[in-house]
Homo-oligomer: A and B are copies of this chain.
């Protein structure tokens, strides 16, 4: 929506139950921080509450989460948080958001609840969980009833949702692919989606659908398609095997566990999340461990190489991950020896390529053979391709359509795809974060924008790091900094001490101390050049010091450090 849309506050919305409002707070304009509000008759429901990894401009930032300040003062209206699945981009903001809503119930699948319960405990957050079962409707609030719809994805126990309101039925796909044959046998539930379209009265008012892979033609391959590739690798390996994947890719992990058992390999998991996810999933029988499995990494060295399979995280080359430490030879237990085989069974997240290639170089230096995406079919996506997206539109036959889960280019292409499927321009909405879409049984329009944005989490700080701080960090990163301190008499402005010069991340050419002496002379000269009466004006003195130093450094070095002049009054 254009930047001139009117600003809407939640308190402005009238509470007639014949209207339902859809308000994305995150995920529509980026891959990550998925979060959406629904409003009907005054009640609010939040769907997902995810985080995003900071981009390379957000120096030092740990996570990015959606700004939920629009809910301030409206806390009582939030009746439920419903979660599609346990990936961080759908649940990772909960530790920061839930404390504002201590009494709001959280609804999710058994697996999602089991994983979150343990993770949130670390943050001292104990929400009121209710486990949802597929096809079992639950009333969330006077005007909201939800039915979980089984979808397939790279994670297990994932849901889309049908939200029934007096204004009509809204279907949210969650993150989905259409896998007819997933390792856990729980296939995409076509009927559950289709039955809403077939309901004679109204059908589906709105479909919200995953846009991630809108650039990919055809249909997303089944998770089982990776089995032949992985089997060939595991079957033919003569020495140790390391399989690296995301800790949340539980289907992949199941496939690896099966193949390891089949070929007599003992599996050792490495990495906190890998161990935890396997433990929790197996406790609730979501995965099955058919062979020998060790959750203590120190077992790795006790297993003969030809019977060892290490299952670990670190496919993106993350510096502290198990695989990176094995590659650098700094892992206490994990080991990569000449002749070992390392399989990177995960996608390369855009932006991580050079880090991943560096990892592969280190592993190659240790004599390992590294098999990665592109060399064999050892990874498939967890997200629908174009034909799957079309299939979901056909299946649900919605009155209106909003693509979710994507950058602008994805949402734009997904709207175009919906038009290819026969939707009219005014039926497919390219919403962005903050847009408030109001739907009735037979109309839809964007009212304006609710307050929204990105909150940066940095250490214990939530939202205190802003664009100015980031800009300073970028400048500091580029050329470092120089502090110049002058001690002056508080009455006469006369120099009593200094200039002292301290620098970090900056070098003043190759002359070293001599160059700093020149710089000191430059500062003194700048001071001398000031009229006597302005020497007591600190801001004037500082500005003059800064100007002189900047000019000198630019001329001698063509560098632009952050310059901080300090005048101390004595």
Contacts and interface: CB of A to CB of B under 8 A. Distances in A.
Give the number of times this chain occurs in the complex, counting copies. Answer: 2
B500 A566 contact: yes
Contact of A409 (B354, B370, B559): B370
A496 B490 CA distance: 12
A34 B62 CA distance: 37
Interface in A459-490: 459-461, 463-466, 469-470, 472-481, 483, 485, 487
Contacts of A55: 354
Contacts of A408: 361, 364-365
A472 B562 CA distance: 13
A502 B478 contact: no
Given A473-B505, A505-B473, A556 B460 contact: yes
Contact of A566 (B361, B374, B465, B502): B502
Contacts of A497: 487, 568-570
Interface string A340-376: 0000000000110110010011001100001000110
Give chain A's interface secondary structure class.
mixed
Nearest to A555: B460
Interface in A393-421: 407-409, 412
Interface string A184-204: 000000000000000000000
Contacts of A509: 460-461, 464
B351 A507 contact: no
Contacts of A506: 469
Interface in A29-48: none
Contacts of A472: 480, 504-505
B564 A504 contact: yes
Contact of A407 (B351, B361, B463, B566): B361
Contact of A351 (B215, B353, B556): B353
Given A408-B364, A502-B564, A477 B483 contact: no
Interface in A498-521: 498, 500, 502, 504-507, 509-510
Contacts of A60: 477-480, 505
A215 B375 contact: yes
B409 A568 contact: no
A337 interface: no
Contact of A480 (B460, B469, B569): B469
A187 B471 CA distance: 50
A329 to B, nearest CB: 13
A473 B464 contact: no
A533 interface: no
Contact of A364 (B361, B409, B481): B409
A525 interface: no
Interface in A41-84: 55-56, 59-60
A469 B353 CA distance: 25
A275 interface: no
Contact of A461 (B374, B464, B487, B507): B507
A4 interface: no
Contacts of A354: 55-56, 350-351
B374 A215 contact: yes
A568 to B, nearest CB: 5
Contacts of A500: 566, 568
A464 B507 contact: yes
A558 interface: yes
A473 B483 contact: no
A458 interface: yes
A557 interface: yes
Interface in A515-570: 556-559, 562, 564, 566, 568-570
Contacts of A498: 568
A568 B483 CA distance: 13
B476 A481 contact: yes
A504 B487 contact: no
Nearest to A483: B483
27 contacts: A60-B477, A60-B480, A60-B505, A215-B375, A350-B357, A351-B354, A357-B409, A361-B408, A459-B557, A459-B558, A460-B509, A460-B556, A464-B507, A464-B509, A464-B510, A466-B507, A472-B480, A472-B504, A473-B476, A473-B480, A473-B505, A476-B481, A485-B566, A487-B487, A498-B568, A504-B562, A504-B564
Given A350-B353, A460-B559, A465-B507, 6 more contacts: A351-B353, A361-B409, A464-B507, A473-B476, A476-B480, A500-B566
In the complex, the 5 A-B pairs of residues with the closest C-beta atoms, listed nearest first: A477-B477, A459-B558, A350-B353, A476-B476, A351-B354
